[in-house]
Structure 1
Amino acid sequence: MSEEVTYADLNFQDSSKRKSIQESGTVGIKAPPATSHLWHQRALALTLLCLLLLIGLGVLGSIFYITLKKEMRKMNKLQNFKEELQRNLSLQLMQNMNSSKVIRDLSFTLQEIATKLCQELYKRQPEHQCKPCPRTWIWHEDNCYLVIKNYVSWQESAMFCSAQNASLLMIKNKRVLEFVESKRFRNYWLGLSPREDYADYKTLDEIMSSSDWFIRNADDVGDRMACGYLDTPYVYYASCTNIKNTICEKLANPVKIENTLMSEIPDRKYN
């Protein structure tokens, strides 16, 4: 009896062990499905993360596109405003240029009128204050002339004119020629360049186109050099140390419009 119980116990123990082995074997086989389930969870999380990233990029792209459109509209407005300013500026510059031209033309016309009026006044009153030349000087066309009978050498005559901010008379154009012919000057030094030989006399027409007009310093004139002088209607050469009269010339100042409108002759010296 005791042996049967022992066998039964052993048999039961063996069957219990086999069942435990089977159960443990069964559990070992079911382990892989638990790992696969974890991988699916991770994949799902990554997928959701990617979707969130794509959504975020889409939102950012939309914001960027909207902002870009707004900025482009602003840029277009600024460009249009700039172009409008440039057009307005160009129109203003053109108007200013036209206005300046009108003013210049008007000033030139007024100056011409004032000059002609002053010339008429000068014919009636040689010392009228509108005269653009210093006192005692003769006004003709664009030049002022100072005629002095001082009987000095050519060098002294040239230095005297230089002290008056002028030069010896030069006959280079028709206007000066007409002035000289009308005055019939006799024995006046000219601004011809001194020369070493005595040239033949010439008429005023011939001397007008000459290239011998004074070009050297008066200090360089030697005792044996010849200088030209005026004896209307001819030009002669004589020793530069001879004594003759002086005619100085210089450009006239512009006629002052306000002086032209005044008729009184001021009791003052002209500079």
Structure 2
Amino acid sequence: MPMIFSEHMEQYDLEIVFPQPGPFTTMHSADVDVVAIHGLNIEARYLVHRDTWSYKGKVWPRDILPSCFGKHCRVMLFSYNDGLSVNDEDTQFTKHADRLLRLLMEKRKEDPTRPLVFICHDVGGLIVKEALAKAHLDKSGTIISIDQFTRLLVFFNTPHHNVAKSVRTIASAAVRPTPPEVLDMLDKACNEHVERLAPLEQRGRLYRRRLVINFHACNWYRGKHLLVEKEDTMCNVRHEYWEKHFTVYGDHISMCKFPSSDDVTCETVLKTIGLNTYLAMQMVC
């Protein structure tokens, strides 16, 4: 069970939440692996890897999303130290990406070719992009399958442009004030991230053979301001990218929380994910 993070402990987990683990659970019927990655824990939630996607106990990637795949899927939640109040290492997206890759390889040993879908909230998207970049450049053949079999990327308010500015704005909106030195560490981490990934993004290496969906929150967070500008949530690097962009009527936090499958936003998001996963898998057949 994930714990509250502190500067004295490190906790990473890739929790399988669907199907529920049990003596009769089998993965042979799963057509796709879905991995959800949270962003900065600006509301100081105890279990941010679940609370990011939760509304009154209903975690939609676990309780609603599997219906999009006829329940022939496996859903996992990645948890990591978000770096808002700890040390320099915890602001490094590469560190989190390394742990994500390692855990994915462990979970996918029985079928490393199963298609992958990543669902990401704010900097969770940066972590996934770091992981895909490292997998793409892998010369050993150990982790390259993560890049090869990723079919769909879903981003909720992930900044693809003006990264440092957007992440600082998000971190500054935290309910517990983020120390200035941590904001500076995040600035550094974001700038290093952009520098590392720029060559791959410009050559189209991060998004080829897969579909990209960007959801943007159009409501002000806590009635103050947008945390990520609409233009910054669009990749728009190469015209041939298979990219789609949708506006979500919620703020930076509520855009990931759905009360039920009957909710209009939930229905739109799930249908978009389900349909585009099918299309992405067909495009590479």
Q: TM-score normalised to the size of structure 1? A: 0.19
> Greater relative contact order: 1 or 2 (C-alpha under 8 angstroms, separation 6 or more)?
1
Q: TM-score normalised to the size of structure 2? A: 0.19
Q: Highest Rg: 1 or 2?
A: 1
